[in-house]
């Protein structure tokens, strides 16, 4: 939800007008979708949220100082003061695109980390920093500057009407009341963008939903929260519960949560925007006063896009009206070419980390497997109920590489077996369809095969390491700090996580 807002409170008349604007914007979008051909060039993009960590392996609430030191507009604030985000420019996956993404991402992060150290912090790519504690989430010092963050926090708390309960069962049990949405700020992810045509959107979104379970099992990297060992990908329940606008009564009535897997396969992108308006009241009903279009005629639909940014689907629909040509200033700011309107699927379920090569391998799996499922006649969404896809997702978030799932044609089986026998080879075929360089495809798929055959992703490495450290006599707090220090060393070393040794 990167759009800045002016207000933090809204009147009843503003809410009414915003609702009316949403309805009219939806009709404008449908009309534009019907009349316009989107390029669907297949370009890919990536956003990466990062933790800031001090020399004692604790969260460092220094994002303003770190961003000043980095001095690069590609890096921006995130919700927590101990977070920043990198927005990597889009590129084509064809040829050596994945390798170029790895090289570019590594160079950006190395440079940024070197500068961040001068401000007192290292950059960490990890789904939830294991050393985050309750004191880090108390008071008002956790939240970043910016009205949109304060407004979002106030809107969720007002809608909920009471403190936020985080209650998660795993190897440990955690029950924790938060006075605001601070737990959300602990969840850092890698978000993948895939540009598609209007006709491709429905099948691509359905494919992304179908593979969500195996995808999160393969990449899990968030096994702990507030010192407790919980799910393989604890980021999933923490994010869902910390932004839940429902009180217990509404949850029991079946009102849909703000962080939502969904409930059906779709035909097109307008299905999802219709659901957004039908099911979710506006959190930030800020009227833009801008009903204009771009020079190419794409409606800007500011209210519709702001509302979409506060509905947290694991695969989010993106309508981007594009950008008009922007002339340079004759000095340091060069001219910016026009960007046409485009449609994208934003895949939001992956944690950050552990290493650059691991993250690019995760991206290769997503892009390759989605391409394979859409281009072949397998169509698992036509042979599997949506409820089963949702069950697979939560089973894999809870148990990671130890999960069992259902897949059409294979029945119930361990997720590692499904990955090895079918999904990784299918992703390899999909990368061929995308014309990815053979050496690049083999390299990244070998990283993923290494995880399935060793049973070690970021989550299992952390839980095994913590067990070793505690068996040696370390108390939990010191063991977590040692774990984070080791993680940082291996992360900066760059070797894929399945090769990391235990303490």
Q: Which of 201-216 are b and which e, b meaning 16 or more Cβ less than 10 Å from the residue's Cβ? A: bbbbbbbbbbbbbbbb
Render pLDDT for 73-104 as a digit per residue (tens, 0 to 9). 999 999 999 999 999 999 999 999 999 999 99
Report yes or no: 299 and 321 within 8 Å, Cβ to Cβ: yes
Of the candidates 57, 56, 53, 59, the one whose C-alpha atom is nearest the C-alpha of residue 116 is 53
Contacts of 180 (CB under 8 A, 6+ apart): 143, 153, 157, 164
Q: Which domains does the chain have, with CATH numbers?
A: 12-325+339-499 (3.30.590.20)
E-assigned strand segments in 205-341: 224-225, 228-229, 259-260, 312-313, 315-320
Q: How many CB atoms lie within 10 A of CB 399?
A: 20
Residue 44 bridge partners (DSSP): 91, 194
Of the candidates 1, 27, 19, the one whose C-alpha atom is nearest the C-alpha of residue 287 is 19
Of the candidates 106, 125, 118, 124, the one whose C-alpha atom is nearest the C-alpha of residue 71 is 118
Q: How many CB atoms lie within 10 A of CB 117?
A: 14
- The string of DSSP letters for 131-199 reads T--GGGGSTTTTBPSSHHHHHHHHHHHHHH-SPEEEEEESSSEEEEEESSSGGGGG--EEEEEEEE-HH
Coil, strand or helix at 125 = coil
Render pLDDT for 288-332 as a digit per residue (tens, 0 to 9). 866 788 878 899 999 999 999 999 999 999 999 998 887 766 655
pLDDT for residue 329: 63
From CA 405, how far away is CA 390, in angstroms rounded? 10
Exposed/middle/buried for residue 403 (C-beta within 10 Å: 0-12, 13-18, 19+): buried
pLDDT for residue 1: 43
pLDDT for residue 4: 66
Contacts of 17 (CB under 8 A, 6+ apart): 285, 287
From CA 216, how far away is CA 457, in angstroms rounded? 11
Give me Rg for the CA atoms of the chain: 22
pLDDT per residue rounded down to tens, the chain (503 residues):
456 677 767 889 989 999 999 999 999 999 999 999 898 878 999 999 999 999 999 999 999 999 999 999 999 999 999 999 999 999 999 999 999 999 999 999 999 999 999 999 999 999 999 999 999 999 989 999 988 999 999 999 999 999 999 999 999 999 999 999 999 999 999 999 999 999 999 999 999 999 999 999 999 999 999 999 999 999 999 999 999 999 999 999 999 999 999 999 999 999 999 999 999 999 999 998 667 888 788 999 999 999 999 999 999 999 999 988 877 666 556 767 888 999 999 999 999 999 999 999 999 999 999 999 999 988 999 999 999 999 999 999 999 999 999 999 999 999 999 999 999 999 999 999 999 999 999 999 999 999 999 999 999 999 999 999 999 999 999 999 999 999 999 999 999 999 999 99
Coil, strand or helix at 140 = coil
- The string of DSSP letters for 34-88 reads HH--------EEEEEEEEEE-TTSSB---HHHHHHHH--TTEEE-SBTTEEEEEE
Structure tokens given for 206: 């359905």
Residue 224 bridge partners (DSSP): 229
pLDDT for residue 164: 96
Report yes or no: 270 and 195 within 8 Å, Cβ to Cβ: no
From CA 175, how far away is CA 356, in angstroms rounded? 33
Coil, strand or helix at 253 = coil
From CA 365, how far away is CA 444, in angstroms rounded? 8
């Amino acid at each position: 939800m990167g759009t800045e807002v002016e207000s933090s409170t809204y009147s009843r008349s503003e809410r009414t007008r915003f609702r009316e604007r949403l309805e009219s914007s939806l009709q404008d979008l449908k009309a534009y979708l019907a009349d316009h051909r989107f390029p669907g060039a297949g370009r890919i993009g990536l956003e990466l949220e990062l933790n800031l960590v001090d020399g004692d392996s604790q969260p460092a609430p220094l994002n303003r100082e770190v961003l000043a030191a980095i001095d690069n507009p590609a890096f921006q604030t995130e919700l927590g003061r101990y977070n920043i985000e990198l927005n990597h420019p889009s590129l084509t996956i064809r040829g050596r695109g994945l390798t170029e993404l790895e090289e570019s991402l590594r160079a950006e992060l190395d440079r940024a980390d070197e500068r961040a150290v001068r401000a007192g912090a290292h950059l960490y790519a990890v789904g939830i920093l294991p050393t985050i504690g309750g004191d880090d989430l108390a008071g008002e010092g956790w939240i970043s500057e910016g009205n949109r963050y304060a407004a979002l926090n106030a809107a969720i708390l007002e809608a909920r009407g009471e403190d936020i309960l985080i209650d998660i069962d795993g190897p440990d049990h955690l029950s924790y009341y938060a006075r605001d949405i601070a737990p959300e700020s602990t969840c850092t992810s890698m978000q993948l963008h895939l540009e598609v045509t209007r006709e491709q959107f429905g099948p691509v979104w359905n494919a992304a939903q179908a593979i969500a379970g195996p995808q999160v099992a393969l990449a899990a990297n968030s096994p702990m929260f507030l010192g407790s060992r919980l799910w393989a990908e604890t980021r999933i329940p923490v994010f869902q519960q910390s932004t839940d606008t429902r009180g217990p009564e509404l949850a029991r009535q079946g009102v849909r949560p703000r962080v939502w897997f969904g409930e059906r396969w779709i035909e097109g992108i307008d299905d999802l925007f219709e659901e957004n308006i039908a099911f979710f009241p506006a959190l930030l009903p800020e009227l833009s006063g801008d009903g204009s279009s771009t020079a190419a005629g794409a409606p800007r639909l500011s209210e519709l896009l702001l509302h979409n940014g506060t509905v947290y689907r694991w695969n989010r629909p993106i309508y981007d009206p594009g950008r008009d040509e922007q002339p340079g200033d004759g000095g340091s700011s060069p001219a910016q070419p026009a960007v046409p309107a485009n449609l994208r699927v934003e895949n939001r379920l992956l944690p950050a980390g552990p290493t650059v090569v691991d993250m690019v391998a995760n991206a290769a799996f997503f892009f390759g497997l989605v391409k394979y499922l859409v281009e072949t006649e397998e169509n698992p969404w036509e042979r599997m109920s949506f409820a089963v896809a949702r069950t697979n997702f939560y089973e894999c978030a809870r148990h990671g590489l130890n999960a069992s799932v259902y897949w059409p044609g294979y029945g119930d089986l361990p997720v590692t077996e499904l990955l090895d026998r079918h999904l990784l080879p299918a992703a390899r075929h999909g990368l061929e369809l995308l014309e990815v360089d053979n050496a690049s495809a083999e390299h990244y798929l070998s990283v993923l095969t290494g995880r399935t055959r060793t049973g070690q992703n970021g989550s299992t490495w952390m839980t095994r390491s913590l067990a070793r450290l505690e068996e040696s006599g370390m108390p939990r707090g010191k063991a977590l700090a040692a774990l984070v220090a080791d993680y940082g060393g291996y992360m900066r070393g760059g070797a894929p996580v399945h090769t990391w040794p235990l303490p």
